[in-house]
Structure formats: C-alpha cells, structure tokens
Amino acid sequence: MSADRYLLDTSAILTLMEGEDGADEVEKILRESEAIVPFPVLLETYYISLQEGSESVADERYAWLRHIPVIEIWSMDEPTLLTAAHIKARFHVSFADALIAAFAVRNQAILVHKDPEFEVMTERVRQRRLPYK
C-alpha cells in the first residue's frame, strides 16, 4: 500500500464511474492507497447524477460510492471551515471546491481531480490532475 493519502474530487469519482481517461489512475489509487471522500463530493456526485440522469441512476451511483474502499468524512471542524474560507477568499473558487480543497489540506491528502478551477491553488493544495476531457 502506498504511503500517500488521496482525496478524490467529484470529477475523479465521475471519471471512474463513466470510464473516462484517468479512470485507471483512480482505480489504482483505490487499490493501493488510502482514499478519502468528504461529504461535498457525495453531495455533488448525487446532484450531478440527478441533473444528467434520473433519481434511480443517482441512487445507484450513490450506493456504489458508499461501498468503495474510501474513508468518508461526514462532518467539518472549525480548522477545516477556516481553511476553506481562506481558500475561497484567496483563490475565488466555488464554495464546494473550497471545501473539498480544505479537506485535502487538513487531511494532508493529494487532491485528485480533472477540474481546472483547482489549478490556481497548486501552491496551497497538493494535486494529481487527471486528463481533462
């Protein structure tokens, strides 16, 4: 098992679910490393699946996501909240991306994504960028 810890962004989860370029990298992380999925990723995965598909598709994806080998984070402490606030103010990213990045920072995890919005914060957040669409 790798000593690195990874936080999977919504874009990484959807990459895996949809078999996009980079899905093999996400699978390898799940097999060989410790992976984290915070509640904003669960929320985004569900609502994106609702928007693009149906409630049954969203339910199936959510159930699948709850059963993959990851550490789920269901709550936020004050240091994570303040880290997210600093990221949001400094980098002008979305609220969800600020939260997800803060969870990565606070958990000393490498953020795995294919979201160009995260690129502005490479000095603050360790990242592993998947191939963009």
Which residue, chain included where needed, has tokens 């990484």?
Answer: 12
> For residue range 25-84, what is the model confidence (pLDDT) as tens digits?
999 999 999 999 999 999 999 999 999 999 999 999 999 999 999 999 999 999 999 999
Please classify residue 20 by burial: count the beta carbons closer than 10 Å to its beta carbon, then call 0-12 exposed, 13-18 middle and 19+ buried: middle
Domain ranges of the chain: 5-129
Tokens at residue 125, please? Answer: 């957040």
Please classify residue 69 by burial: count the beta carbons closer than 10 Å to its beta carbon, then call 0-12 exposed, 13-18 middle and 19+ buried: exposed
8 Å CB contact between 90 and 105: no
pTM: 0.95
| CB proximity list for 6: less than 8 A, separation 6 or greater | 29, 33, 34, 35, 36, 109, 110, 111, 112, 128
Average pLDDT over residues 125-129: 97
Q: 125 by DSSP, 3-state: which?
A: coil
The CATH class given to the 5-129 domain equals: alpha beta
